[in-house]
C-alpha cells in the first residue's frame, strides 16, 4: 500500500521549529512520507503560534487558506493556538480534522491514522504534564545549525505575556539529556547549536535548585564537537558573574547574546513585571561589554504598552541611540486575555503604537548600517550555508554575531566553497543588515 504523504507548515519561533522537527520524527516512525509540495499531500499539519494578536491572525489566516485547498485532504492544527483556543477552534471550525496540544505531539502518528478513517479527534493535555523535559527525537531541518531546547514553559509572569498559560510551568531538561541530544546533533554534522527556552538564564533552578547555565555551557563545549554554541532568550534579571565569565572565556560560546529588554522606562518595566530597573540594565550591559570583547547584542522591545507616554517612548529611543545594539527586534503590544495587563488603564491607540514601532525600527536600521560599515576591511570567520539565490556567483553564510533566521547574513565571493565549512572572509561591502566579502587564506 502506498504511503500517505504529509506536508508540515510551521509558524512562529524556534521552539515551534523544534516541535515540527519532533512531529517529523514521529511521522516517519509511523510509516508516513513527508513532502514539501502541498498539492501532493494527503494531510496538512499546521503548527501554529498564538502568542500575540498578529501571530494569532497569521495562524487563523493560514488555517483558512489550507481549508480552501483541502478538497479530500485532511487538516491537523497543533501548536500554541491549538493549546490556547482548542475549544473555540473545535466548535467554530469543523473543517479542522484534528487538534493537538503542545504535550500531545507523540500522538501525531495515531491522529493521522484516525482522521484518514474519517474520524475527528482532539488531544489537548496540560503542557507541563511532565515535571521536566526529555531528549527530543527530531528530524533536523538545517544540515549545519540546530536549535536545542534546554527548558520550556515560564514562571516570570510578565503582565503582558500569555506564555505561562500556553506552555505551562518552567521545566528544565536534565543536563545529561541535553548533552545526549547535543552529541546526537553533532553526530548529524551540526556545527552550531542555538540554546533556546523561554528564559535560558534560569536553566536548572527548578530541578537543581540553582542556576546551572554556566555549567551546561562548559559541558557542551567539552563533550561535543560543535564549534559554535549560541545563547538565545536570556533574561536580564538572571545573569550571574559566573555565567558572564563562562561566556567570556569559552571559545566555543558565541560572543553574541540575545537579551530581550522589552523597555527601559522604570515606570513601564515595573508595570510589565520585568523584575529589573533601568540602572540595573545599564550596569549589566556595561559589564557584558567590559568582560566580553567584541560582544554583539540583540534585544527586543515592546512598544505601546498601556500607560506608555511619549516621554517613556522617547526615553527608549534615547537608550537605543546611546547603547547601539547590533540587532533590535520589536513588536506592538497586544491586549491578551487572562494576562494582568489586559485590564490596565491607559491602552494606547493602534495608530500611535504603529507609529512608535516604525520610529524605533527606523532608528535601529541606521544604527545597524553604521555598525556594519565599521566591519569593512576586517576578517571574520563565516559558516557557509549554501549558494546565494540573491547574488549570483556568491555563497551565503553567517558570522558568529549573526543568529540564524533573525539577523543579517554574509554574502561570500569564492570558488568551489564547501557547504558547512568555516572560512575566513574579508568584508568588502556593507548593506543595511547584510555584509559582502571574499574568501581569504
55 and 158 together in one domain: no
pTM of the model: 0.90
Look at the block and give the residue holding cell 497543533: 78
CA dist., res. 383 & res. 381, Å (int): 7
In this structure, what C-alpha cell is assigned to residue 422?
568555516
CA dist., res. 78 & res. 84, Å (int): 10
Q: Is 136 among the domain residues?
A: no
- Residue 415 is classified by DSSP as S
Using alpha carbons, select from 428, 429, 427, 423 the residue that is nearest to residue 441. Answer: 423
In this structure, the strands spanning 379-387 and 422-430 are antiparallel
68 and 100 together in one domain: yes
At residue 331, what are phi and psi to the nearest 5 degrees?
Answer: -145, 155
CA dist., res. 350 & res. 78, Å (int): 30
Using alpha carbons, select from 347, 343, 373 the residue that is nearest to residue 433. Answer: 373
Q: Is 130 among the domain residues?
A: no
Edge-to-edge strands of the sheet including 253-258? 145-149, 192-196, 228-231, 253-258, 296-303, 327-332
Question: Residue 83: how many CB atoms within 10 A of its CB?
Answer: 24
CA dist., res. 395 & res. 380, Å (int): 15
325 and 301 together in one domain: yes
Q: Is 139 among the domain residues?
A: no
104 and 170 together in one domain: no
252 and 104 together in one domain: no
- Give rounded-to-5 percent helix, strand, coil for the chain: 40, 20, 40
In this structure, the strands spanning 228-231 and 151-152 are unpaired
What CATH number should be reported for the domain holding residue 226?
3.80.30.20
Q: Is 260 among the domain residues?
A: yes
Q: Is 80 among the domain residues?
A: yes
Question: Residue 354: how many CB atoms within 10 A of its CB?
Answer: 14
What CATH number should be reported for the domain holding residue 16?
3.40.50.12160
At residue 383, what are phi and psi to the nearest 5 degrees?
Answer: -90, 115
CA dist., res. 382 & res. 191, Å (int): 12
CA dist., res. 171 & res. 205, Å (int): 9
3-state DSSP assignment of residue 34: strand
Range of the domain at 265: 145-373
At residue 179, what are phi and psi to the nearest 5 degrees?
Answer: -65, -40
Final residue before a domain boundary, out of 373, 400, 419? 373
In this structure, the strands spanning 192-196 and 151-152 are unpaired
In this structure, what C-alpha cell is assigned to residue 74?
485532511
Final residue before a domain boundary, out of 59, 89, 123? 123
Averages of pLDDT over each 10 residues, the chain, 441 residues: 87 89 92 90 92 88 92 92 92 94 90 93 78 75 91 90 88 94 92 95 94 96 94 95 94 95 97 95 96 93 96 97 94 91 93 96 91 90 90 90 91 88 93 88 78
Q: How many domains in the chain?
A: 3
CA dist., res. 308 & res. 294, Å (int): 34
Could you tell me if 234 and 253 are in contact, meaning their C-beta atoms sit under 8 angstroms apart? Answer: no
Amino acid at each position: 500500500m502506498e504511503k500517505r504523504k504529509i506536508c508540515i507548515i510551521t509558524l512562529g519561533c524556534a521552539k515551534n521549529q523544534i516541535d515540527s522537527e519532533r512531529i517529523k520524527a514521529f511521522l516517519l516512525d509511523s510509516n508516513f512520507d513527508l513532502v514539501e509540495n502541498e498539492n501532493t499531500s494527503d494531510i496538512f499539519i499546521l503548527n501554529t503560534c498564538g502568542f500575540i494578536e498578529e501571530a494569532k491572525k497569521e495562524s487563523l489566516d493560514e488555517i483558512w487558506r489550507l481549508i480552501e485547498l483541502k478538497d479530500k485532504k485532511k487538516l491537523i492544527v497543533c501548536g500554541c493556538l491549538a493549546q490556547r483556543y482548542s475549544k473555540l477552534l473545535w466548535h467554530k471550525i469543523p473543517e479542522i480534522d484534528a487538534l493537538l496540544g503542545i504535550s500531545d505531539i507523540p500522538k501525531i502518528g495515531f491522529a493521522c491514522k484516525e482522521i484518514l478513517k474519517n474520524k475527528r479527534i482532539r488531544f489537548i493535555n496540560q503542557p507541563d504534564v511532565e515535571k521536566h523535559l526529555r531528549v527530543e527525537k527530531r528530524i533536523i531541518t538545517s544540515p549545519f545549525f540546530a536549535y536545542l531546547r534546554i527548558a520550556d514553559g515560564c514562571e516570570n509572569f510578565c503582565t503582558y505575556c500569555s506564555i505561562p498559560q500556553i506552555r505551562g510551568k518552567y521545566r528544565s531538561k536534565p543536563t545529561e539529556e541535553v548533552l545526549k541530544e547535543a552529541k546526537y546533533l553533532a553526530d548529524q554534522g551540526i556545527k552550531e547549536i542555538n540554546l533556546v527556552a523561554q528564559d535560558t538564564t534560569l536553566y536548572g533552578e527548578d530541578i537543581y535548585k540553582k542556576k546551572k547555565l554556566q555549567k551546561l555551557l562548559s559541558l557542551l563545549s567539552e563533550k561535543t564537537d560543535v564549534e559554535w554554541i549560541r545563547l538565545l532568550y536570556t533574561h536580564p534579571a538572571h545573569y550571574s558573574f559566573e555565567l558572564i565569565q563562562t561566556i567570556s572565556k569559552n571559545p566555543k560560546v558565541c560572543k553574541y547574546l540575545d537579551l530581550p529588554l522589552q523597555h527601559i522606562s522604570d515606570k513601564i518595566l515595573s508595570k510589565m513585571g520585568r523584575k529589573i530597573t533601568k540602572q540595573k540594565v545599564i550596569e549589566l550591559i556595561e559589564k557584558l561589554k567590559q568582560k566580553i570583547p567584541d560582544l554583539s547584542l540583540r534585544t527586543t522591545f515592546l512598544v505601546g504598552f498601556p500607560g506608555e507616554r511619549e516621554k517613556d517612548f522617547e526615553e527608549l529611543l534615547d537608550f537605543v541611540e546611546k547603547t547601539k545594539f547590533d540587532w533590535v527586534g520589536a513588536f506592538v503590544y497586544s491586549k491578551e486575555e487572562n494576562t494582568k495587563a489586559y485590564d490596565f488603564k491607559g491602552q494606547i491607540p493602534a495608530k500611535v503604537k504603529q507609529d512608535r514601532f516604525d520610529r524605533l525600527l527606523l532608528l535601529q536600521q541606521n544604527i545597524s548600517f553604521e555598525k556594519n560599515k565599521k566591519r569593512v576591511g576586517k576578517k571574520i570567520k563565516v559558516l557557509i550555508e549554501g549558494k546565494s539565490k540573491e547574488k549570483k556567483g556568491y555563497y551565503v553564510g553567517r558570522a558568529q554575531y549573526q543568529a540564524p533566521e533573525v539577523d543579517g547574513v554574509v554574502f561570500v565571493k569564492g570558488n568551489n566553497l564547501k557547504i558547512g565549512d568555516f572560512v575566513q572572509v574579508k568584508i568588502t561591502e556593507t548593506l543595511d543588515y547584510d555584509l559582502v566579502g571574499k574568501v581569504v587564506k
